[in-house]
Amino acid sequence: MEFVLTFNQPIEEIERHQDPQQGPAAMEPWMAYMREMSEAGVMRGGNRLAPPWTATTLRLRGGQRLVQDGPFADTKELAAGYVVIDVASLDEALKWAEKSPSTAIGSTEVRPVAQPPQ
C-alpha cells in the first residue's frame, strides 16, 4: 500500500532550515531519516517544499478567481515536505511517521494514496 507522509512543522523550524548558519545542522536528522527509508526500500519519492511564504493559494468563488499570496492556513504548523512510501499496512506507515523529525516538533500526517475506481 502506498501512503503519503506530510511533514508539518512550526514556522520557526521552517525558518531555521532556511538559515545559512543553522540550516545544514537542522537538515542532518532529515537526511538520516530519508536515507533510512531509502535503504529499507520503502520510499518511492518525495520532496522538501519551498517555504510557505512562497505559496500562492487559488480559489474560485462565484465564478471569480481569487488569488492570495502565501498559504491560507489557520494553523501553527505548515507543510514542509512529503514522501510517498510503499509499505504493507497503516501500522507500518505509522512506524515510519513516528521516526520523522517533524513528529517531535510538529506533526506527520499519514494518508493512503487513493486507489483508482474499479
Q: What is the full per-residue pLDDT of the chain (118 aa) written as tens digits?
A: 999 999 999 989 989 999 999 999 999 999 999 999 999 999 999 999 988 888 888 888 999 998 888 766 666 778 889 999 999 999 999 999 999 999 999 999 999 999 888 8
Distance in angstroms (rounded) separating the CA atoms of residues 20 and 97: 27
Domains with residue ranges and CATH for the chain = 2-112 (3.30.70.1060)
| Buried/exposed 39-53: b ≥16 CB within 10 Å, e otherwise | eeebbeebeebebee
Q: Give pLDDT, residue 69.
A: 81
Distance in angstroms (rounded) separating the CA atoms of residues 60 and 72: 14
Q: Give pLDDT, residue 116.
A: 84
